[in-house]
Amino acid sequence: MPILEKVTETQVWKSVFRHPMPTDRRNRVVVMLTNFFLHLHPVSVRKQGIALSYTWCMGGTTFFLFLVETVTGVLLMFYYRPTLEHAYNDILALRDVTTLGILRELHRWGAHAMVIAVWLHMYRVFLTGSYKPPREFNWVVGVLLLVMTLLLSFTGYLLPWDQLAIWAVTVGTSLAGYSPFIAKQFNIGLLGGVVVGPETLLRWYVLHVLALPFVLVLFLSVHFWRIRKDGGISGPL
Residue 85's CB: how many other CB atoms inside 10 A? 9
Contact between 122 and ligand HEM (CB under 6 A)? yes
- Pair 196, 174: CB distance under 8 Å: no
Between the CA of residue 95 and those of 108, 111, 114, what are the distances in Å?
12, 17, 22
**What is the spatial distance between Cα 156 and Cα 70, in angstroms, rounded to a whole number?**
13
**Residue among 62, 72, 155, 173 that touches ligand HEM (CB under 6 A):** 62
**Nearer residue to ligand HEM within complex by CB, 164 or 217:** 217
Site for ligand HEM in 23-52 (CB under 6 A): none
Contact between 213 and ligand HEM (CB under 6 A)? no
**Nearer residue to ligand HEM within complex by CB, 1 or 52:** 52
**Residue among 118, 158, 190, 201 that touches ligand HEM (CB under 6 A):** 118
Q: Closest separation between CB of residue 64 and ligand HEM, Å?
A: 9
Closest residue by Cα to residue 90 from 99, 80, 82: 80
Site for ligand HEM in 85-114 (CB under 6 A): none
Site string for ligand HEM, 218-237 (x = CB under 6 A): --x--x---x-----xx---
Residue 160's CB: how many other CB atoms inside 10 A? 19
**Nearer residue to ligand HEM within complex by CB, 196 or 216:** 216
Q: Number of residues in contact with ligand HEM, rule: CB under 6 A? A: 28
Site for ligand HEM in 147-176 (CB under 6 A): 149
Q: Closest separation between CB of residue 167 and ligand HEM, Å?
A: 28
**Nearer residue to ligand HEM within complex by CB, 24 or 136:** 136
Contact between 125 and ligand HEM (CB under 6 A)? yes
